[in-house]
């Protein structure tokens, strides 16, 4: 039984087809990259999986149970968490308060919040408002917040966007450390090819609202179909 199964998902906005029969399965814990050109349907797919957008057709299943169209808070109770392209933190709250808010459902406390801040080198900002952080640091704070939810399925939408190389290394090491500590499914939309190819064990390539190719980073980089549609 797959942790996540996406089956024949279709979504249209007027005359535009954002998802056109998108299907794939994730059998178990791992870090998976989701790549494709702009307009391939990646974020729309995340919106459908996370319950932010209902599909026109198709089915989303978690552990074999149909969760299509469930509200985000219902999916959160099943262990689904996500980040967004636009960084979503509370700038007036301290970094610690942001994390405690994220982990409120799971009862995650200050000790865990401070531990995770230390892993991304933000421990000195714990009592400072998130507004004091750079954009890249806010991105790290948002992603740390998703781990306060102790997810089984984590959807990260372009986590590397706007993050400088030094912070990218911190982010990569944090994600790998958290995966080793709590094996789960991390599905990562990313346009930074160097980042995602080094992070993910398997890559799913989308094109025109459907899955074009799937394989190891090495196989994807060598695929003529992928090169023609995207990487070339």
How would you list the strands of the sheet with 16-26, edge to edge?
16-26, 4-13, 57-62, 65-66
- Residue 225: give its domain's CATH number: 3.40.50.300
Asked if the structure places residue 56 within a domain, the reply is: yes
Asked if the structure places residue 94 within a domain, the reply is: no
Asked if the structure places residue 63 within a domain, the reply is: yes
Asked if the structure places residue 99 within a domain, the reply is: no
In angstroms, what CA-CA distances link 12 with 16, 20, 44, 45? 6, 8, 10, 12
Query: What are the pLDDT digits (tens) for 46-102?
Result: 999 999 999 999 999 999 999 999 999 999 999 999 999 888 999 999 999 999 999
Quote the DSSP letter at residue 145.
H
Distance CA 216, CA 161 (A): 23
Q: Which domain covers residue 181, as residue numbers?
A: 4-88+149-231
Please give the tally of structural domains in the chain. 1
Asked if the structure places residue 170 within a domain, the reply is: yes
Asked if the structure places residue 164 within a domain, the reply is: yes
Asked if the structure places residue 113 within a domain, the reply is: no
Asked if the structure places residue 23 within a domain, the reply is: yes
Regions of the chain with pLDDT less than 70: 107, 231-232
């Amino acid at each position: 039984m797959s942790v996540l199964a996406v089956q024949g998902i279709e979504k249209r906005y007027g005359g535009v087809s954002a998802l056109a029969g998108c299907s794939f399965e994730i059998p178990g814990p791992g870090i998976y990259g989701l790549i494709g050109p702009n307009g391939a349907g990646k974020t729309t797919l995340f919106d459908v999986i996370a319950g932010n957008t209902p599909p026109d057709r198709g089915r989303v299943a978690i552990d074999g149970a149909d969760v299509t169209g469930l509200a985000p808070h219902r999916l959160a109770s099943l262990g689904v968490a996500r980040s967004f392209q636009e960084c979503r933190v509370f700038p007036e709250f301290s970094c610690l308060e942001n994390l405690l808010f994220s982990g409120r459902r799971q009862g995650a406390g200050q000790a865990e919040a401070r531990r995770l801040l230390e892993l991304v080198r933000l421990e000195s900002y714990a009592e400072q408002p998130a507004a004091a952080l750079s954009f890249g640091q806010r991105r790290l704070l948002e992603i740390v917040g998703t781990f306060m939810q102790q997810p089984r399925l984590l959807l990260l939408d372009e986590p590397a966007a706007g993050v400088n190389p030094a912070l990218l290394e911190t982010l990569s090491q944090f994600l790998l450390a958290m995966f080793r500590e709590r094996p789960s499914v991390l599905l990562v939309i990313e346009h930074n090819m160097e980042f995602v190819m080094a992070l993910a064990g398997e890559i799913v390539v989308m094109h025109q609202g459907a899955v074009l190719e799937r394989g190891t980073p090495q196989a994807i980089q060598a695929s003529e179909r992928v090169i023609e549609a995207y990487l070339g």
